[in-house]
């Protein structure tokens, strides 16, 4: 049975300044996004669309704002609405933790819509560019979760060789390292699927040669929703929520409309004239 290494959450302490591992994982996520996006704009059909690295920089800025604002508001509205209604001043206390992926996703969608409107580009052209560049950032976030020993998994059978005790949970129960599962599924595996699918001809064109926008975005919603739904079976539900209807967690219920919307977008993109 393994025991969580109990990393110091502070990566670098300069006395007057503390740099946390979680902050470094966010920087790595944004850096990877920029690196991948600047390569994606060289691929068809973006290579013929006049995209520039400067536009990718602006897109990253919009995305960062969407992640932070949407992630925080999503946590407030989806997970603890009653608490923050009673303590509205705590909404802005982001240093105390509390971010929700599904809220961050909605924030990014809104940010991409604004970017597309300002730059006079198609909405799904923008989201198809972004989608394959996102999973590596999600993987970085799960590394931060593991270093902090948070979002631990449910109790695991003793026969699971990688079961791990997380002292932060307040128990000596061996648990699934669900952060690692999510790193592998919604991070690495989803990235491989989207990156290679996004480079295929079928992702962006019809048999007649016309351009299709939306399929990559739809596949992202399907893939993330499905992988997160699976991973939630191994992740300990939030103590203040527990399991909801049908013994599903809040994370699983939020994934259901993602998968449905992704399927709808993928089919609609292929049929749209």
Closest CA to 259 of 141, 102, 125, 128: 102
Separation CA 39–CA 33 (nearest Å): 10
First and final C-alpha spacing in the chain: 57
Residue 54 in marked binding region: no
Separation CA 198–CA 23 (nearest Å): 29
If 0-12 CB within 10 Å is exposed, 13-18 middle and 19+ buried, where does residue 136 land?
buried
Rounded to 5 degrees, φ, ψ at 104 are -60, -40
Closest CA to 75 of 45, 97, 42: 97
- Which H or E element spans position 125? helix 123-130
Q: What is the number of alpha carbons within 13 Å of residue 179 lying toward its C-beta?
A: 16
- Return binding residues: 142
């Amino acid at each position: 049975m393994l025991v969580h290494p109990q990393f110091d959450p502070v990566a670098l302490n300069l006395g007057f300044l503390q740099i946390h591992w979680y902050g470094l994982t966010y920087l790595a996520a944004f850096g990877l996004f920029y690196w991948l996006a600047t390569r994606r704009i060289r691929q068809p059909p973006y290579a013929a669309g006049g995209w520039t690295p400067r536009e990718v920089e602006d897109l990253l800025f919009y995305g960062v704002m969407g992640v932070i604002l949407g992630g925080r508001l999503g946590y407030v509205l989806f997970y603890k609405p009653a608490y923050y209604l009673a303590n509205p001043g705590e909404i802005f206390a982001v240093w105390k933790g509390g971010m929700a992926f599904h809220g961050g996703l909605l924030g990014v969608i809104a940010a991409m819509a604004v970017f597309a409107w300002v730059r006079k580009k198609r909405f799904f052209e923008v989201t198809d560019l972004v989608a394959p560049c996102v999973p590596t950032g999600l993987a970085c976030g799960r590394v931060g979760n593991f270093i902090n020993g948070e979002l631990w998994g449910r109790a695991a059978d003793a026969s699971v060789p990688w079961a791990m005790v997380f002292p932060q949970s307040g128990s000596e129960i061996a648990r699934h390292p669900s952060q690692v599962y999510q790193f592998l599924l919604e991070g690495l595996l989803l990235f491989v699927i989207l990156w290679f699918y996004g480079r295929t001809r079928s992702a962006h064109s019809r048999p007649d040669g016309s351009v299709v926008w939306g399929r990559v975005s739809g596949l992202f919603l399907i893939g993330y929703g499905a992988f997160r739904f699976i991973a939630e079976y191994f992740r300990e539900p939030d103590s203040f929520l527990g399991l909801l209807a049908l013994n599903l967690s809040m994370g699983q219920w939020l994934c259901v409309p993602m998968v449905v919307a992704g399927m709808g977008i993928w089919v609609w993109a292929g049929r749209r004239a």
